[in-house]
Structure 1
Amino acid sequence: MSASDAKVLSTEPLMIRDAKWTTLIKTTYTDPNGKERTWESAQRQTRPKNSLIDGVGIVAILEKSTGPELLLQKQFRPPIDKVTIEVPAGLVDEGESPETCALRELKEETGYVGETAGEGFGVSPVMFNDPGFCNTNLNMIHVTVDMSKPENKAPKPELEENEFIECFSVPLKDLYAQCRQLENEGFAIDARVGTLAEGIEIARRWKL
């Protein structure tokens, strides 16, 4: 059984009254010239009270003797009918900090136990996934995983009944090339993974 065994059977319109996770919004606003306009968008319904974010993405670096590797996942995503290459991620619970959420989700989805990075690098600025379409946002949390620790020798995910996640890792230095290869193999590249790969490649080419 793998993520690629899933498939879309049908699609149909969803009534707003039946939607659990999202709703549709029409916003009326004025442009810089004072002209009144409207905008259609989606809005997530699950953001906890007093939280600035919906969830977190996790940049989990596996510290291996052969060099740092980025922990990735394969998940089937029905909206695009493809298996997507992603970083671990999840929604925050009520009263939960982004760091706590990240370490919890990392353990549940992958089995790995990590530590958030310090020196002002642990939590990214708030990032909006697709601001022209929806209000969903997140923090990227930077986590290191010490592979010498016993708990990380044979990690065991704690997946929910509806979660089918396959974990693998890629050397950071090869991430851009691996994204190209995975796309050629038919996988979809999540924007967070692609942006990380682009950043590493830009830094390499411009010798930053």
Structure 2
Amino acid sequence: MSLESCEVVSREPLMLRDAKWVKLVKTVYTDPHSTTRDWESAERCTRPVGVNYDGVGIVAILERPGSSPELLLQKQFRPPIGKITIEVPAGLVDANETAEECALRELYEETGYRGEIAEQDKSCLMFNDPGMCNTNLHMVHVKIDLDKEENKNPKPQLEDNEFIECFTVPLKDLYTECRRLEKDGYAIDARVGTLAEGFEIARKWKFLQ
């Protein structure tokens, strides 16, 4: 079996009473001219009480002696778009868990790797699609030392409904790899695409060589 065998079987409207993970919301607001308007959006039902974000995305860098750094990526079939998507490891935060703790836990569960938080702080709070939903996250930078014994034969701890394939891409090749993967029919997650665009902009404008 492979991710390529996944397909959308049917699609139909979902009644609000039957939704487990998301809900639709109508927001009434006033615009700059004091005109009252309506806005339809979606909200997650999973955010822990007292937490102001939903989860984390993980920029996991694999360090190989004598080699350029590589970014750990994943392939997952995403039913809403009916495609296999190229993503960074990510997950929802648990109650009483920091973003850093969430990142290390999700990294191990989805990839089997044991990582270390990099020196950089977690990112600013980022909203995935603020015109459509209130979902947000922190990006957390994690280093994976491949010299450590625990990382030589990583075994993901996936749940029954998780089907994930991991692979790596040299950071310097991320932009061209995203272009190639798109041509091959994969969907590029915005977090991955934004990283790639950032690297390409830095290269073109001489911030990176």
State how 1:117-136 maps to structure 2 within 5 Å: 117-118=118-119, 121-136=120-135
Contact residue 122 and residue 143 of structure 1 kept, 8 A: no
The answer to whether the aligner puts 1:176 opposite 2:175 as a matched pair is: yes
d(CA) in 2 for partners of 1:145, 1:88: 13
* Corresponding residue number in structure 2 for 1:43: 43
d(CA) in 2 for partners of 1:58, 1:3: 22
3-state DSSP class of the match of 1:144? strand
Contact residue 2 and residue 166 of structure 1 kept, 8 A: no
User: Over the residues paired in the alignment, what is the CA RMSD in angstroms?
Assistant: 0.6
d(CA) in 2 for partners of 1:106, 1:122: 17
Question: Gaps (5+ residues) in structure 2?
Answer: none
* Corresponding residue number in structure 2 for 1:78: 79
The answer to whether the aligner puts 1:94 opposite 2:95 as a matched pair is: yes
Q: Which amino acid aligns with 2:196?
A: A
3-state DSSP class of the match of 2:102? helix
Segments of 4+ moved more than 6 angstroms: none
State how 1:48-197 maps to structure 2 within 5 Å: 48-64=48-64, 65-118=66-119, 121-197=120-196
Q: Which amino acid aligns with 1:138?
A: L
Identity between Structure 1 and Structure 2 (%): 68
TM-score relative to the length of structure 1: 0.98
d(CA) in 1 for partners of 2:192, 2:121: 17
State how 1:20-39 maps to structure 2 within 5 Å: 20-39=20-39
Question: Gaps (5+ residues) in structure 1?
Answer: none
Q: Which amino acid aligns with 1:14?
A: L
d(CA) in 1 for partners of 2:101, 2:46: 18
d(CA) in 1 for partners of 2:37, 2:161: 41
d(CA) in 2 for partners of 1:95, 1:4: 37
d(CA) in 1 for partners of 2:89, 2:41: 26
d(CA) in 2 for partners of 1:4, 1:77: 12
**How many residue pairs are counted as aligned between the two chains?**
206
3-state DSSP class of the match of 1:67? coil
Deviations 1:114-165 (A, max 9, x none): 11112xx230000000000000000000001011111111111010111100
3-state DSSP class of the match of 1:4? helix
d(CA) in 2 for partners of 1:122, 1:157: 26
3-state DSSP class of the match of 1:53? coil
Q: Which amino acid aligns with 1:42?
A: A
Deviations 1:77-119 (A, max 9, x none): 000000000000000001110000000000000000111112x
d(CA) in 1 for partners of 2:117, 2:9: 40
* Corresponding residue number in structure 2 for 1:16: 16
TM-score relative to the length of structure 2: 0.97
Q: Which amino acid aligns with 1:134?
A: C
3-state DSSP class of the match of 1:168? strand
